[in-house]
């Protein structure tokens, strides 16, 4: 752990800090308020950038740790991110603008990549992923579907220079990244993989392979999600593909624009620690996999629940499943997934990752071994409560969500629409107008509207339903209930069509 070890050496030298941060690195002389809660070491290890023997120079301990990360994920180069995978998405978008202005995006892309599209001035086209209509879950793309979409764009004079796909999905479905990379490269496009939910891939034979080993050119990896770093600590990986020489300087320049000049040594140190823990953690990962399998077995024994991923074989785009993701169908309870998740938290202190109208999702970290028996006991108790409510004839809490909407027509360039003069109108008045905002329903943060798209009645209905749900939130909305929308005032004079 070269980076962590360099900070340990600094701390052991008992330095006197008359520099930032303001706590002075001294638990008893400026950092007592932090040390009282987080301990002395957090205060001592929180050091600024540009220190000799830590991060200055091409052969610094920080660079040595980055090289070890590149080796661990089979990447040409790795950048540490202290603002989450969202920073990686924005960096990737800025970088691929250097390859060309058109990007073909999987529609279920994270909203932070849409932010990057706006920043970079990219012109997006969208390709719809496979969708589980029963649960309203977006999965991925097949190589054939990507090939079809790239051909269609090229035939209309809109040749894409980069492609953005998501694998794994929020629910653990993993696409054929090797096949997608081959198709993208054959069309002269670089492949960006949003691998935010798969930072642990490639570190155990029972896990899917890391996208960098499968031909991806850029991989956004949210290390904190399952690989054990602290929240926000993530990575961006550059693969050894046909675009590596061109992309490396582009990514470095983009990274300089998106990175903090006061990046947290605590967060970066956690990436150093997480990388070593994964590389040396085969036994720990095995234990996590065994825990996940035990929980699935316990759930399958209770017919009131079912494991959604057991049916992933029905979808042609899914080639592997992340075994550490456990999505559960709760429709047999007669209550919504939101109600189930709330009861698990309120009555049993068991926190599932997310809920939808019909499902809840458990995520087990690659180095974690939660008590599967306690989790199942809580699920059983909540199911019993649901049975009692149904027997008493009480109202069904299960929400009826509208289907996920098809995207509206892209009538303006996203960047032009975002910066155009705009006004806020009622939801009814917004139908047929051009959105000036990017709106994404959370979870999982997939953009339902991007600037420049026409607002449809179906999109309005869907977003309002999400906003009204107990755990729903619409990022970018003009108001919490999505009763109003920000639209372009005069699209005729604002921009030409894309």
pLDDT in tens, 220-255: 999 999 999 999 999 999 999 999 999 999 999 999
Predicted confidence band at 355 (pLDDT cuts at 50, 70, 90)? confident
Q: Is it the case that residue 427 has pLDDT exceeding 80? A: yes
* Cα separation, 266 vs 437, whole angstroms: 34
Contact 179, 357 (CB under 8 A): no
59 C-beta neighbours (distance < 10 Å), count: 7
Predicted confidence band at 186 (pLDDT cuts at 50, 70, 90)? very high
Please give the average per-residue pLDDT across 336-346, as a whole number. Answer: 94
Q: Is it the case that residue 44 has pLDDT exceeding 60? A: yes
Element (DSSP H or E) covering residue 473: strand 473-475
What does the pLDDT read at residue 443? 65
* Same domain (yes/no): 226, 348: no
385 is in which domain, residue-wise? 283-391
pLDDT in tens, 91-131: 999 999 999 999 999 988 888 999 999 999 999 999 989 88
pLDDT in tens, 379-417: 999 999 999 999 888 766 555 567 778 889 999 999 999
Average pLDDT, the chain: 94
Residue 297 belongs to some domain of the structure:
yes
* Cα separation, 170 vs 155, whole angstroms: 33
CATH code where residue 443 lies: 3.90.100.10
Q: Could you say which of 242, 268, 294 is where a domain stops?
A: 268
Q: Is it the case that residue 347 has pLDDT exceeding 70? A: yes
Residue 5 belongs to some domain of the structure:
no
pLDDT in tens, 252-272: 999 999 999 999 999 999 999
How many domains, in total, are found in the chain? 3
- 400 or 322, higher pLDDT: 322
Please give the average per-residue pLDDT across 62-89, as a whole number. Answer: 98
Q: Could you say which of 210, 245, 268 is where a domain stops?
A: 268
Q: Is it the case that residue 199 has pLDDT exceeding 60? A: yes
CATH code where residue 128 lies: 3.40.640.10
The DSSP bridge pattern shows strands 123-127 and 102-106 to be parallel
What does the pLDDT read at residue 395? 60
Helices (H) and strands (E) in the chain, counts: 18, 20
Compute the Cα dihedral for 27, 29, 32, 34 and give only its sign: negative
Q: Could you say which of 268, 302, 322 is where a domain stops?
A: 268
* Same domain (yes/no): 184, 257: yes
Please give the average per-residue pLDDT across 168-191, as a whole number. Answer: 97
Q: Which residues pair with 475 in a beta bridge?
A: 440
What does the pLDDT read at residue 405? 84
Predicted confidence band at 473 (pLDDT cuts at 50, 70, 90)? confident
Residue 24 belongs to some domain of the structure:
no
HSE value, Cβ hemisphere, 13 Å, CA-based, for 79: 31
pLDDT in tens, 275-318: 999 999 999 999 999 999 999 999 999 999 999 999 999 999 99
The DSSP bridge pattern shows strands 218-221 and 306-307 to be unpaired
Q: Is it the case that residue 493 has pLDDT exceeding 60? A: no
What does the pLDDT read at residue 132? 86
**292, exposed or middle or buried, with CB in 10 Å at 0-12, 13-18, 19+?**
buried
Please give the average per-residue pLDDT across 55-71, as a whole number. Answer: 96
CATH code where residue 296 lies: 3.90.1150.10
What does the pLDDT read at residue 494? 54
196 C-beta neighbours (distance < 10 Å), count: 27
* Same domain (yes/no): 150, 198: yes
* Same domain (yes/no): 371, 443: no
Residue with tokens 């590389």: 279
Residue with tokens 């052991």: 12
Residue 484 belongs to some domain of the structure:
yes
* Cα separation, 334 vs 351, whole angstroms: 20
* Same domain (yes/no): 85, 182: yes
What does the pLDDT read at residue 173? 96
* Cα separation, 434 vs 352, whole angstroms: 37
* Same domain (yes/no): 227, 317: no
* Same domain (yes/no): 82, 197: yes
What does the pLDDT read at residue 400? 58
The DSSP symbol for 404 reads P
Please give the average per-residue pLDDT across 132-138, as a whole number. Answer: 81
* Cα separation, 133 vs 310, whole angstroms: 16
Please give the average per-residue pLDDT across 198-217, as a whole number. Answer: 98
What does the pLDDT read at residue 234? 98
* Same domain (yes/no): 172, 247: yes
Spell out the residues 6+ positions from residue 274 whose beta carbon is closer than 8 angstroms to its own: 223, 224, 227, 228, 229, 233
* Same domain (yes/no): 384, 317: yes
Shortest CA distance to 196 belongs to which of 179, 214, 174? 174
Shortest CA distance to 2 belongs to which of 83, 68, 49? 68
Q: Is it the case that residue 468 has pLDDT exceeding 80? A: yes
Considering only 290-294, 392-396, 464-468, 481-485, which range has the smallest mean pLDDT?
A: 392-396
* Same domain (yes/no): 233, 317: no
Please give the average per-residue pLDDT across 318-342, as a whole number. Answer: 95
What does the pLDDT read at residue 138? 84
The DSSP symbol for 455 reads P
Q: Is it the case that residue 42 has pLDDT exceeding 90? A: yes
* Same domain (yes/no): 239, 98: yes
Calculate ∠ Cα 213-114-424, nearest 5°: 165
Predicted confidence band at 201 (pLDDT cuts at 50, 70, 90)? very high
Residue 481 belongs to some domain of the structure:
yes
* Same domain (yes/no): 228, 89: yes
Residue 471 belongs to some domain of the structure:
yes
* Cα separation, 97 vs 119, whole angstroms: 10
């Amino acid at each position: 752990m070269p980076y962590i070890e360099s900070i340990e050496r600094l701390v052991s030298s008992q330095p006197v800090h008359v520099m930032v941060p303001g706590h002075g690195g001294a638990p008893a002389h400026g950092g007592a308020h932090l040390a009282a809660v987080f301990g002395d070491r957090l205060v001592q290890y929180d050091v600024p950038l540009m220190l000799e023997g830590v991060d200055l120079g091409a052969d610094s301990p920080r660079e040595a740790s980055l090289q070890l990360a590149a080796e661990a994920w089979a990447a040409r180069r790795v950048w540490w991110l202290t603002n989450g995978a969202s920073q990686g998405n924005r960096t990737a978008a800025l970088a691929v603008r250097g390859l060309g202005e058109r990007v073909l995006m999987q529609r279920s892309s994270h909203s932070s990549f849409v932010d990057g599209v706006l920043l970079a001035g990219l012109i997006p086209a969208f390709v719809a992923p496979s969708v589980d209509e029963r649960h309203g879950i977006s999965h991925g793309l097949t190589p054939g579907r990507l090939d079809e979409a790239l051909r269609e764009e090229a035939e209309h004079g809109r040749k894409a220079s980069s492609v953005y796909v998501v694998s794994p999905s929020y629910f653990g479905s993993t696409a054929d990244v090797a096949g997608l990379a081959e198709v993208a490269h054959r069309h002269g496009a670089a492949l960006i993989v949003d691998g935010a939910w798969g930072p642990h891939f490639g570190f155990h034979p029972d896990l899917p392979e890391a996208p960098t080993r499968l031909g991806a050119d850029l991989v956004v990896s949210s290390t904190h999600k399952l690989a054990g770093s602290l929240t926000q600590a993530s990575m961006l990986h550059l693969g050894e593909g046909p675009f590596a020489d061109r992309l490396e300087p582009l990514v470095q320049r983009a990274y300089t624009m998106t990175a903090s000049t006061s990046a947290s040594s605590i967060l970066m140190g956690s990436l150093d620690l997480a990388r070593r823990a994964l590389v040396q953690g085969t036994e720990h990962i095995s234990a996590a996999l065994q825990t996940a399998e035990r929980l699935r077995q316990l759930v399958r024994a209770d017919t009131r629940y079912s494991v959604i991923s057991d049916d992933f074989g029905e979808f042609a785009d899914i080639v592997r499943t992340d075994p550490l993701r456990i999505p559960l169908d709760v429709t047999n309870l007669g209550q919504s997934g939101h109600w189930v998740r709330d009861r698990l938290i309120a009555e049993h202190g068991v926190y599932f990752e997310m809920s939808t109208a019909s499902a809840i999702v458990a995520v087990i970290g690659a180095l974690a071994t939660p008590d599967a028996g306690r989790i199942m006991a809580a699920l059983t108790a909540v199911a019993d409560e649901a049975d009692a409510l149904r027997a008493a004839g009480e109202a069904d809490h299960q929400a009826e969500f509208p289907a996920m909407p098809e995207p509206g027509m892209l009538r303006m360039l996203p960047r032009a629409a975002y910066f155009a003069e705009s006004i806020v109108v009622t939801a009814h008045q917004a139908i047929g107008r051009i959105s000036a905002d990017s709106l994404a329903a959370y979870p999982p943060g997939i953009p339902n509207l991007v600037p420049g798209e026409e607002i449809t009645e179906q999109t309005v209905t869907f977003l309002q339903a999400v906003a009204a749900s107990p755990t729903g939130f619409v990022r970018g909305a003009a108001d919490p209930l999505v009763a109003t929308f920000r639209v372009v005032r005069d699209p005729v004079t604002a921009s030409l069509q894309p």
